[in-house]
């Protein structure tokens, strides 16, 4: 791939992380002009552009070198790392960003008892995070059946297609609306700045260091 002289950051095109991510970059002194096709936002001052994509694609785009950094939920980053396979570029969390907070949890029907992970033995658990769930079940030495669903995970127990779910929870309102209750937490998540473990050895690496310094200032002010 041709080396790029401008830094490229992948972020969510339209969703929960879009506004706060743009706001954070603005506070770091970066401003952008959106292109007509809305795939790219071009940096006006600094040599930093944005690529606007679905959040699930962000880790892969960094691993392939299409982007240098990404703003993505820790849940998506860890799921990618767990399922990317050997030989994939190792990604790391450069900074936690303090927004998009949620947790990946096990939830069970309200009337069901749950004391420990072993209570899930031989159960069917629906999730959009099979990598993270399988890793947790392995760690807890529980043999359960993982059912991978792209969305609407919370309705699976009512449909009778699963006994429990593993999904993101924020206020807990979705669980209550579906007669479920949170039983165990696998991962505390928030938006993070993700990138390869080693920085590019050119101007982009210098720009990343500058951005990290500015981020630290902005995040400190906010805390
Ligand atoms: O189109 P694209 O694929 O980019 O968007 P998406 O629909 O996959 O993502 P989006 O915008 O919903 O979420 C982006 C990221 O925000 C997630 O990967 C998380 O890191 C973070 N985040 C924070 C959340 C939530 N809070 C959240 N509450 N992501 C999803 N939810 C959903 C959850 O899946 C469940 O359906 O909201 C529901 C639970 O919310 P409560 O408040 O009812 O508990
Ligand atoms: Zn998504």
Domain harbouring 80, CATH code: 3.40.190.10
Token match 């690529």: residue? 51
34 and 135 fall within a common domain: no
Tell whether 122 and 96 lie within a shared domain.
Answer: no
The pLDDT, as a whole number, for residue 21 is 97
- Tokens 């949620």, residue? 102
Predicted pLDDT of residue 220: 80
- Å from CA of 113 to ligand 2 middle: 31
Domain for residue 26, yes or no? yes
Distance 75 CA to ligand 2 centre (A): 11
Domain assignment present for 1: no
Structure tokens at 33: 């002009």
Q: Is the ipTM of this complex over 0.90?
A: yes
Co-location of 177 and 77 in the same domain: no
60 phi and psi angles, rounded to 5 deg: -65, -40
Residue-wise burial string across 80-89, b where 16 or more C-beta atoms lie within 10 A, e elsewhere: bbbebeeeee
173 CA closest ligand 1 atom index:
43
Q: Are residues 30 and 70 in the same domain?
A: yes
> For residue 5, what pLDDT is reported?
87
Q: Which residues line ligand 1 (CB under 6 A)?
A: 12, 15-17, 54-56, 73, 75-76, 100, 102, 167-174, 189
Question: Between vectors from CA 81 to CA 79 and to CA 86, what angle results, nearest 5°?
Answer: 135
List the domain range (segments joined by +) for residue 127.
102-189
Residues of the chain predicted below pLDDT 50 = none
């Amino acid at each position: 791939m041709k080396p790029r002289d401008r830094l490229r950051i992948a972020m969510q095109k339209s969703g929960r992380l879009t506004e706060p991510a743009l706001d954070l970059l603005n506070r770091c002194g970066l401003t952008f002009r959106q292109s007509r096709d809305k795939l790219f936002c071009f940096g006006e001052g600094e040599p930093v552009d944005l690529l606007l994509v679905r959040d699930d694609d962000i880790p892969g785009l960094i691993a392939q070198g299409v982007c240098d950094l990404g703003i993505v939920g820790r849940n998506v980053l860890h799921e990618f790392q767990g399922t990317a396979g050997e030989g994939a570029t190792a990604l790391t969390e450069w900074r936690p960003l303090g927004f998009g907070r949620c947790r990946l949890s096990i939830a069970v029907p309200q009337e069901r008892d749950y004391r420990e992970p072993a209570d899930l033995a031989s159960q069917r658990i629906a999730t959009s995070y099979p990598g993270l769930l399988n890793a947790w079940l392995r760690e807890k030495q529980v043999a359960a059946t993982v059912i991978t669903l792209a969305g609407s995970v919370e309705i699976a127990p009512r449909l009778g297609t699963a006994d429990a779910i593993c999904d993101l929870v924020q206020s807990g309102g979705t669980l209550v609306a579906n007669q479920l209750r949170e039983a165990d937490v696998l991962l505390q998540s928030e938006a993070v700045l993700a990138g390869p473990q080693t920085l590019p050895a050119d101007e982009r690496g210098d720009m990343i260091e500058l951005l990290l310094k500015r981020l630290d200032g902005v995040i400190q002010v906010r805390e």
